[in-house]
Amino acid sequence: MLKKYLFLCGLIFILPVANAQIKGVVTDNKGEPIPGANVFWLNTNMGTVTDNAGNFQLHDHSGATRIVVSNVAYNPDTIVVDDKSLFIRVRLRDQLLLREVSVVSKVPGTVKGRTAVFQTEKITSAEFTKAACCNLSESFETNPSVDVSYSDAATGAKQIKLLGLSGTYVQMLNENVPTLRGVSSVYGLGFIPGPWMESIQVSKGTSSVMNGYEAIAGQINVEYKKPQLSEIVAVNLFASDAGRVEANATATAKLNDYLSTGVFLHASDEFTELDQNKDGFMDMPMVKQYNVANRWLYKKDKYISQAYIRALSEVRTGGQMDHHAYKIGIDTKRYEFFLKNGYVFNSEKGESAGLILSGSLHNQKANYGTKTYSGEQGNFYANFIYQTNIGRYHKLSAGASFNVDDYSELLNTTGTEQVFPRREYVPGAFAEYTLNLNDKFILLGGLRADYNSLYGAFITPRLHLKYNISEHLHLRASAGKGYRSPNVLAENNNLLASNRTIIIDNGLNMEEAWNYGLSLQGYFKLFGRPLSITGEWYYTDFKRQVVADMDSDPHAVHFSNLMGKSFSESAQIEANLEVVRGLTVTMAHRVNDVQTTIGGLLREKPLTSRSKSMITASYQTPLKKWQFDFTAQFNGSGRLPDSDESNPLWNNEFDSYSLLNAQVTKYFRKWSVYIGAENLTDFIQKNSIIDVQNPFSNNFDASMVWGPTHGRKFYIGFRWAIDRL
């Protein structure tokens, strides 16, 4: 099956080719680079975003001669391009009248990196507005690469999957600082409000060694709104017919030429107990969350410093309706900070040094019926990075890191309290070399060495290659290792909502895997409209793994070391096309082959869809008065864990299903109103909880979730902002 899709990817080679790249840089009125500026052809949806140095490469658009450059902190500008072979320098100015006012049809919502050696796509704030993006877990609804699903049918815990693998194999970062690890990984996707985010970068496969050794399937980095660039004030209000209400507010201020600050506020609550399938259990727990953050930026001459601090309180209440005995209660408190300092020694040589410090304290107290779990995790992280260019084509990055995790977990399932303390120290050092031959060929090789106080020393090699076959056809290849420490109880305590006995073997190994990847990106014209096609293939080969066996015993889950082979193979093809002016369509199809040795047999991993297709369409009317968004997901079938042969309570397979979402947005000068619906076909998985009427029996199981646990949902929202001049 995978060979067919690899063959389709290969067809890209014979598609017609045409256009060149327009290169340039965007700076402010002081000559400082502006990262994250939107650069696109006037009256088209064809654009890109500047990198950290303000540079951009824009695919040529036949017949177009005007480029629009915009950023929320500056006045936009429209540039006439007479000679497309010249290097374009654009300077955006503060608080000046526009020389030319231009109305554009659309700002790209997802931007695929063309110059980077990594296979990366950037999900911008424009993409967040296409759906009810209330938090990080809901920000991937229009993304074909990242799957988000419920971990169980009782707690509301969500998990992501990338390349067919669970989110524990995806390194999560907040502004390149590792986060959502261990205890926070179970419910952490709901801790980051959507209106706080500026963008999300999704990288597949192995990544840079500078961020650590934990990325096996990929890396997801969240960028928050920047105080010097974001709106002065922004408000987002949301309500759904499921009883959920939410309010978000951000405010930023430039205190002087060097110092800026921003405050982020979030409050949400759910007032309705829903039981659409009439099984006596809440379809979704009621979640009350309060979230506040403050960040600072100081930038003067060659020195830059950023500080961030956040506090969160969340309470989840679920279980049986009314006054029945089985209740679920999860109380979470989380505090975190990071401090980033950087100094540029020589801008011409690209010589700089940076120090990142971060820390967090996460406390979770939970009861699942008569069972209780308490998990506390303290983390401290430091990372020092030095970078310099060596001549015209060479770049060297090197540094050292230190991470410490302090766990204290208490578990009571039988009336006896079990204590699981653990402290883990990991010092490490790394180096990364880049060879860049005028962006035609890029080689990036990295190596890091770490020592884990529990598992000993290990080496992490990684290699990335990028070759531009032509100016519009880019080939990437990658290979590298990844490691992670097993945090079985911390990362799976939501399984306590089922009555499966949890068995954890002693002496679990550190997980270790190789990841190999190939991708091909092409940019063409179809009937005079921009078309991009991406084909990719990734293979993850586990050398050591902690296997969750739910097959050998239908009343237990057994965590043990891998004894045999385990792999994940994923292939995807994706096409993006501007059909007519203002209307963009994305079509994607992916197939997964994920297998693990369970009970001595190499078997398909349960609760994993074999395929997924997605179609998204977004239309914005001229003058940006209305926007219409539609998403269709087609999720393939898969295997379920083996049931009890003497008393089978579920099937061996789950069926394929479709999900349809739609949203309409009306724009005004400074505010907008949106209404939408999720799961338009009202599809609900039947029997999402096994033996739901007997929550204290050994058959009670909420982990057999493969589809939606709630039906059709309608929502309405309001956005208002005062942009920075």
- What is the mean pLDDT of the segment spanning 42-51? 74
- The domain spans of the chain are 19-104, 111-722
- What is the mean pLDDT of the segment spanning 202-226? 95
**Residue 97: pLDDT over 70:** no
Task: Compare 11 and 388 and report the one with higher pLDDT.
Answer: 388
pLDDT at 348: 83
Q: What is the pLDDT of residues 123-154, one digit of tens each?
A: 988 888 888 878 999 899 899 999 998 999 99
* CA-closest candidate to residue 470, choices 116, 15, 55, 45: 15
Tokens 């724009």: give the residue: 667
| Most confident of the following: 40-54, 91-105, 272-286 | 272-286
Contacts of 47 (CB under 8 A, 6+ apart): 38, 39, 40, 41, 58, 107, 108, 111
**Residue 99: pLDDT over 80:** no
**Residue 43: pLDDT over 90:** no
Contacts of 305 (CB under 8 A, 6+ apart): 296, 297, 298, 299, 339, 340, 341, 342
DSSP 80-98: E-S-TTSPEEEE--SS---
Answer whether 497's CB lies under 8 Å from 99's CB.
no
Residue 158 CA to residue 151 CA, distance in Å, equals 5
**Residue 105: pLDDT over 80:** no
Burial degree of 553 (CB within 10 A; 0-12, 13-18, 19+): middle
**Residue 100: pLDDT over 60:** no
Answer whether 289's CB lies under 8 Å from 312's CB.
yes
pLDDT at 107: 58
The residue count for the chain: 725
Answer whether 537's CB lies under 8 Å from 517's CB.
yes
pLDDT at 98: 35
Answer whether 663's CB lies under 8 Å from 629's CB.
yes
pLDDT bracket for residue 106 (50, 70, 90)? low
Handedness of CA 25, 26, 27, 29 (dihedral sign): positive
Q: What is the pLDDT of residues 169-178, one digit of tens each?
A: 999 999 999 9
Tokens of 569: 């193979």
Answer whether 260's CB lies under 8 Å from 290's CB.
no
Please provide the average confidence, as pLDDT, over all residues in the chain. Answer: 90
What is the pairing mode between strands 66-71 and 74-80?
A: antiparallel
Tokens of 210: 């500078």
Among 34-43, 155-164, 182-191, 195-204, the least confident range? 34-43
- What is the mean pLDDT of the segment spanning 93-109? 46
pLDDT bracket for residue 329 (50, 70, 90)? very high
Q: What angle do CA 300, 305, 307 make, to 5 degrees?
A: 140
pLDDT at 22: 81
Among 29-43, 390-404, 476-490, 492-506, the least confident range? 29-43
Answer whether 591's CB lies under 8 Å from 568's CB.
no
**Residue 6: pLDDT over 80:** no
Task: Compare 601 and 22 and report the one with higher pLDDT.
Answer: 601
Residue 588 CA to residue 218 CA, distance in Å, equals 19
pLDDT at 373: 97
Q: What angle do CA 624, 626, 630 make, to 5 degrees?
A: 120
Task: Compare 99 and 49 and report the one with higher pLDDT.
Answer: 49
For the chain, how many helices (H) and strands (E)? 3, 44
In percent, how much of the chain has pLDDT > 90?
72
pLDDT at 95: 41
Domain topology for 111-722:
Maltoporin; Chain A (2.40.170)
**HSE value, Cβ hemisphere, 13 Å, CA-based, for 697:** 10
Tokens of 268: 């949400």
Task: Compare 527 and 334 and report the one with higher pLDDT.
Answer: 334
pTM for this prediction: 0.86
pLDDT at 229: 87
Phi, psi (rounded to 5 degrees) for 307 = -135, 145
Task: Measure the N-to-C terminal CA separation of the chain; round to a whole number of Å.
Answer: 53
pLDDT bracket for residue 445 (50, 70, 90)? very high
Tokens 């540079």: give the residue: 55
**Residue 2: pLDDT over 70:** no
**Residue 15: pLDDT over 50:** no
DSSP 665-687: EEE-SSEEEEEEEESTT----TT
Q: How far is CA 658 from CA 138, 163, 437, 608, 653, in A?
A: 17, 20, 46, 15, 16
**Residue 83: pLDDT over 60:** yes
- What is the mean pLDDT of the segment spanning 503-529? 94
* CA-closest candidate to residue 343, choices 381, 397, 386: 386
DSSP 605: P
* CA-closest candidate to residue 315, choices 325, 327, 304, 330: 330
Task: Compare 114 and 417 and report the one with higher pLDDT.
Answer: 417
Tokens of 437: 């031959």
Domain topology for 19-104:
Immunoglobulin-like (2.60.40)
Among 118-122, 321-325, 532-536, 545-549, the least confident range? 321-325
Answer whether 81's CB lies under 8 Å from 65's CB.
yes
Q: What is the pLDDT of residues 340-367, one digit of tens each?
A: 999 999 988 889 999 999 999 999 999 9
**Residue 10: pLDDT over 50:** no
DSSP 184-211: GGTTGGGSSBGGGEEEEEEEESS--GGG
Q: How far is CA 336 from CA 177, 261, 310, 716, in A?
A: 11, 17, 5, 32
**Residue 572: pLDDT over 50:** yes
**Residue 101: pLDDT over 60:** no
- What is the mean pLDDT of the segment spanning 377-399? 96
Answer whether 318's CB lies under 8 Å from 282's CB.
yes
Among 95-99, 667-671, 706-710, the least confident range? 95-99
Provide the edge-to-edge strand list for the sheet that holds 546-549.
501-504, 556-561, 546-549
- What is the mean pLDDT of the segment spanning 267-272? 93
pLDDT at 108: 64
Residue 46 CA to residue 8 CA, distance in Å, equals 24
pLDDT at 82: 67
Tokens of 69: 């450059």
Task: Compare 202 and 51 and report the one with higher pLDDT.
Answer: 202
